Structure 1
Amino acid sequence: MNILLTSVGRRSYLVNYFKAALKGKGQVVGANMFGNAAGMVAADISIITPPAKHPEYIPFLTEVCQKNDIELLCSLHDLDVYILSQDQQWLSEAGIAHTLPTAEWGRISLDKYESTNLLKQKGISVPKTTVSLATALEAIRNDEMRFPLIVKARAGFGSLGLAKCHNESELQAAYNTAAEQALASGSNQYIPLPEHEMVLVQQAISGREVCLGIVNDLNGAYRAHFACEVHSMRSGESDWATSLDREPFVATARAFSGLTKHRGIWGVDFLEDEGVYKAIDINPRFTGDYPFHHLAGSNVPAALLAWASGEEAGADYFHSIPQVTGFKDLVPAIAKI
């Protein structure tokens, strides 16, 4: 079985997880718009693509899949996920299994305000959130929000526009900066938003960060979930983390699985607020937290390969040992490109 990882970027570890799961019975094809990415070097075959927003992107991927007998596709970047989620018919016609969300969930996941409101409606706790600076200031005066506050791009990714504000002057400056960054990023080309609603203002939470990896099979049925506490970040990704007991998060994971009916693994980030875990982000793909689940005993790449082959995934693919602490090491390597 050959698999395609689009927007593979620097996730060489994920390429290696899939290569190990294949056991020499297939190849990992890495696709990316830049050839000098770690994931491209690690892949068996690396292919430079047009940008995801290019009109020839999907025709290009269609040809890649045909030439390389691709049977499973996973996208590893938010904007790439969104673009591919909006046009999946070619995958169905080619009989290629994939982990893309529906078109609706592709849009919802990219819009942090809409996803926050939807989770709240479905009974999943979220922080107080608004997209209007005037509304945020009014909420502060009414004691409905309090400093510190978090500002970030509404349709951003990679911590775009992220800032912590401790007073009104910092809030106004951060809001304006985030709006400028959101416009410059081009994210508004994907989800058209009014210019005065492109920035999220959210109640800051000082508790620990817990990330859930929620796994459904390729029919959208719940199979497992994993949990880890993130201790530190680097370059927008989890850097140190410790696996946690999964039992306290069963109800939340199952509720989320039933709500999205997604394929594969999605990451959901939570912050603890006086014993209540509040969702702050949805990532419809493998996230930077997955390696810590893998180190604790899980093997989602192997499960996906089994399902894509029409086989049952073994129970051992969903193990998770609590209190395993891991970190992302920097290991220099010769790039054979």
Structure 2
Amino acid sequence: MNAPVLVTDALLRKSLAAVRSLGAKGIPVYAADSTRFTPTGFSKHCAGRLLSPHPSEQPEDYAAWLVETAARMPGLVLLPMDEATVGITIAERERLAALSARFLQPDAEPFRRAADKYETVRAARELGMETPFTWMPQDEKELAAIAASEAFPLVIKPRHSSGSRGIRFVHNAEALGTAYREAAAGGPPPMIQQYIPPGERLDAAILVDAQGRLAASFVQREVRHYPADIGPSTVQESIAMPELAEQAAALLAKLGWRGIAEAEWMRDPRDGRLKLMEINPRYWNSLHLAIQSGVDFPYLHYRLSLGERVEPVTSYRIGQVTRNLLPGDLLRAISTGAWRGLDPPLLGKGGRPVEDDMLSWRDPMAAAGFGLACARYALDAGMWRKMFKR
């Protein structure tokens, strides 16, 4: 009999992709979130909806709930989907393991370094990878030196964030000092990077087994985004770029990684070179594309969590396209006014294979769950921010 699985963060479309993948194989999958109104929970492939505390706002309560859930479901496989739930699973590793819960996650230190954008840049530079010029000023003197470098425009970034949240753009020395002090006053000191104009964005997803061996890799190109310039992707395409997967694997190996992660690059339009931007130490929201292209990360992750050995999956269908019409691509069209002449079109396939990562005649109730979530949380900015994570 297949071991049951707990998939967290059911509001997110990556969680829906994971539940559909596992449930279609006859694996009992339970979806958890702090709300019952989620696309994942309404999927026909979901065996049950679980209501949890909010992992970011109530981490101690969530940890207790997770341990209690594992105690009620012996042999449960844990598939945490987002950064907060991954971090709590890692922190509770010993208690969960004592309850016979199974999971494949990195140790605390590799997770901390991968989640820290500055530590990621440092590790990448040590491997000879190109990144934006990055500074971490320790005092006002170092901040003044950056201001005098004439490297503007600059970007002030939180060391821990997702997507474009918390980012500030500055164009002169006076603005840098003011914006940096404001950002530092609101939390941990941020980092400063040289601004790279918007360019092609590429992502490499990697799954590493418990012994540090590569289990799967996949590379995609981001086609459209919302917000249009700096937001998460709303349309993605699978591409062949094994050298990027190799770089991602090397970077994660340097960190001592285990489990799933995704690395992001952007092509600098000034010199045409790819620059590593960050690591997402978790599943990414466009997971559906990898599954549709032939790299079933959730199922491979499930098998590895059970201690099975899998043959590495590094080849897949090229040119596969997925789209997030609701709400991402539709909001992009509304905000930019670009409704026609899109490739692929906003609606339809346009001559090549395109699949929506939520809308499906084979699983229509997921869209109903999304609609209920929108109605219930229409005025809740926090819920909308969560849906627009990378």
Q: Which whole-Å CA distance do the structure 1 matches of 2:171 and 2:161 have between them?
A: 22
Does residue 6 of structure 1 match 2:8? yes
- The one of 183, 208, 211 aligned to 1:219: 211
Superposed counterparts of 1:16-35, under 5 Å: 16-23=17-24, 25-35=26-36
- TM superposition shift of 1:174: 4.1
Say which is worse superposed, 206-215 or 40-49, in terms of deviation.
Answer: 40-49
Aligned residue pairs total: 319
- The one of 275, 279, 300 aligned to 1:303: 300
- The one of 196, 204, 222 aligned to 1:230: 222
Q: Which whole-Å CA distance do the structure 1 matches of 2:181 and 2:35 have between them?
A: 31
Q: Which runs of 5+ in 2 are unaligned?
A: 327-358, 360-365, 374-390
CA deviations on 1:119-160 (whole Å, 9 max, x unpaired) are 3223333221123376355235334xx222222212233432
Which residue is equivalent to 1:139?
146
- TM superposition shift of 1:281: 1.2
The alignment partner of 1:281 has SS state of: strand
- The TM-score, its normalising length taken from structure 2, stands at 0.72
- The one of 92, 106, 123 aligned to 1:101: 106
**8 Å Cα contact 2:206/2:245 also seen in 1:** no
**8 Å Cα contact 1:113/1:154 also seen in 2:** yes
Structure having the larger proportion of residues in strand:
1
- The one of 274, 287, 290 aligned to 2:287: 290
**8 Å Cα contact 1:267/1:287 also seen in 2:** yes
The alignment partner of 1:84 has SS state of: helix
Q: Which whole-Å CA distance do the structure 2 matches of 1:21 and 1:153 have between them?
A: 35
Q: Which whole-Å CA distance do the structure 2 matches of 1:20 and 1:246 have between them?
A: 25
CA deviations on 1:210-257 (whole Å, 9 max, x unpaired) are 111012124331123211121333375321222221223243133124
C-alpha RMSD over aligned residues: 2.9
- The TM-score, its normalising length taken from structure 1, stands at 0.82
Superposed counterparts of 1:241-260, under 5 Å: 241-260=236-255
Shift in CA distance, 32/219, structure 1 to aligned 2, threshold 3 Å:
farther
CA deviations on 1:52-74 (whole Å, 9 max, x unpaired) are 34433323212212323453212
Which residue is equivalent to 1:334?
368
Q: Which runs of 5+ in 1 are unaligned?
A: 184-192
Does residue 266 of structure 1 match 2:267? no
Say which is worse superposed, 134-143 or 95-104, in terms of deviation.
Answer: 134-143
Q: Which whole-Å CA distance do the structure 2 matches of 1:220 and 1:161 have between them?
A: 33
Q: Which whole-Å CA distance do the structure 2 matches of 1:137 and 1:200 have between them?
A: 14
Which residue is equivalent to 1:83?
88
The alignment partner of 2:325 has SS state of: coil
**8 Å Cα contact 2:7/2:15 also seen in 1:** no
